[in-house]
A and B are shown apart, each in its own frame.
Chain A
Amino acid sequence: MALEKLAVNLRQHGYVILRQWRPDDATLTVGHTVGSVVDVSTLALSGHVPTVQTLVPTSRHKAHNTVYSGIFGLGEFPLHTDLAHWMVPPRYMMLRCQRGSQAVATRLLAASEIVTRVGSDTVRQALTRQRRVAPGRIFCVLPLIFSVGAITAFRWDPVFLLPVNEAALHVRNVMGDLAKCCSKMSSVVLAELGDTLLVDNWKVLHGRSHVPNGSTDRHLERIYLSEVYQ
């Protein structure tokens, strides 16, 4: 797919799927072609997060509770936006399949659906804070809806963000039911080497279905982009 078309589709739908796209190229190389890769290793506060992250299903007891696997294990990952607890989360997330599984789906839901369900006033008023901060860092109030220049963005994480007011509690309650019954949710399976999913992390939430036995060798790579070339 040409880059211009990729950017247009991304703007229209909030995500783009590219099947078996450049399967022989490294994720970082593909990322640099598509946009500006975020060097997470320098931005992340712990310094242990690489720029290209490896995502493999992990049992709860084998992972730390600072990551989703340590909390949900092989179970379903709830809908969220990545790094929602950052002051400004990365704009785009790219997932590249290294070894896929037909049995595991990535769920996608546009943030606009949540705004419709909950009500725009409530979402605008919803305030949260980080669950925890690194030593020497500060807690601060993080609104669910935030602006970056002229762009209105959305953040949500049921674990890493804690509600600070009633509006945020209400959003949390609605989100709890939404995943089970929302017809607007999409499911994407990354099954083949090179299957690539590019998501607008400011506009679309994502989650993961549970990982059944036999699919625990699923292997994805993830990078973040601050912009996608037009």
Chain B
Amino acid sequence: MTPEAQAHRWSEQTLFAKAKLYAEQMQRHPVDHWEFGFWSTLCLEMLGRAALAHISPILLADNKTWENLAYALGTTVTTKKFSPTSLPTRQVFTRLGKLSPDFSDEIQGICAEHVDRRNRELHSGEFVFVDLGSSQWLARFYLACKVILGTMDKTLDDILSEAEDAEDMITAYRDKAAGRVQRDIRCHRRDWSNKSPKERKGAILEANTWATRQIGHRVKCPSCSSQAILKGKPAGEVQTTVIENEIEQRQSQIPSSFECVACGLKITGLSKLSACGLGDAFSGTTTYTASEYFELYTQDELDEAVSNLYEEDFNE
């Protein structure tokens, strides 16, 4: 390993060390103290940036100017008055969402929410954490940290002195979410059984028709057993195959939302979907014609061109 004399402000090592420092500052205060919440937002931001840097520091560069990319690569930038600019925090989490399969929409949502609290704390007179009960955010914060740390092969132990307590909170949060989903399913099942056979038959037909027109994975509804749609977030590599005149692309999808139009059941978030057996990844397939895939002319454009060449018989 070649030694490195100088620190890079976007290296995983420096960012993660800072996340540890902020986590330590956070834990100096009781959970219900506003500073606990405040430092938690800074810790989360550093963790997100470290996770992106773990893939590559270049992903942190604000690519509005090429100098930021050069800086991220470790090149000395000679442009006068250059000051390296990195991505806004929200975009850090958006990018993580696209690059890390474990960083689900749900986790992204938790991070976006916490970043919003940080922004309100720093950029306004609002005293965000002073009256915000920890039950509203703490377990979700720990869950987000755990997932982000996991992308760097680290654990909550690496930043928290009482990681076990945090794990307990995460488990309790997931159990609560699972409980809510099961209650939802039971409610919708009850409403479904209260419908007349004729109403049910009509709803099933409508659901089947609707499902065939939707993009997503067709599954059986856990409440009414009708055809329903499971939508997912792309994860992993795209596999491309050529089949006769078509190009087929397959990619794993991590479930993100469920909807059944027959009984009206809707479930959002991977943890809730997992709680009712709908959390397994599925394969999404898209088929293209050659012209669509390579963005050649469409059939309509070709037809129009042919018709423009055609000369009408005319008695001139």
Which A residues are within 8 Å of any B CB, using their own CB? 38, 43-45, 83, 86-91, 121, 124-125, 127, 130, 134, 137-143, 146, 148-149, 151, 164-165, 224, 226-227
Contacts and interface: CB of A to CB of B under 8 A. Distances in A.
B3 interface: yes
Contacts of A137: 6-7
Nearest to A224: B3
A164 B9 contact: no
25 contacts: A38-B3, A44-B5, A45-B5, A45-B6, A86-B3, A86-B4, A86-B6, A87-B5, A87-B7, A87-B13, A87-B14, A88-B4, A124-B158, A125-B20, A125-B24, A127-B20, A127-B24, A130-B7, A134-B6, A140-B7, A140-B14, A141-B20, A142-B17, A146-B13, A226-B2
Nearest to B12: A147
A121 B161 CA distance: 9
B1 A88 contact: yes
Given A141-B14, A141-B17, A91 B1 contact: yes
Given A87-B11, A141-B14, A127 B5 contact: no
B82 to A, nearest CB: 11
Nearest to B8: A87
B267 to A, nearest CB: 39
Given A45-B5, A45-B6, A142-B17, 6 more contacts: A87-B5, A137-B6, A137-B7, A139-B7, A140-B18, A148-B1
Contacts of B17: 127, 140-143
Contacts of B55: none
Contacts of B14: 87, 140-141
Contacts, number: 72
Candidate in A45, A88, A124, A142 with the most chain B CB atoms within 10 angstroms:
A88
Nearest to A45: B5
Nearest to A38: B3
A146 to B, nearest CB: 7
B261 interface: no
A151 B1 CA distance: 10
B21 interface: yes
Contacts of B21: 127, 141, 164-165
Closest 8 CB pairs of A and B: A141-B17, A140-B7, A87-B4, A88-B4, A140-B14, A90-B3, A86-B5, A148-B1
Contacts of A88: 1-4
Contacts of B24: 125, 127, 165
Contacts of B4: 43, 86-88
Candidate in B4, B8, B11, B161 with the most chain A CB atoms within 10 angstroms:
B4
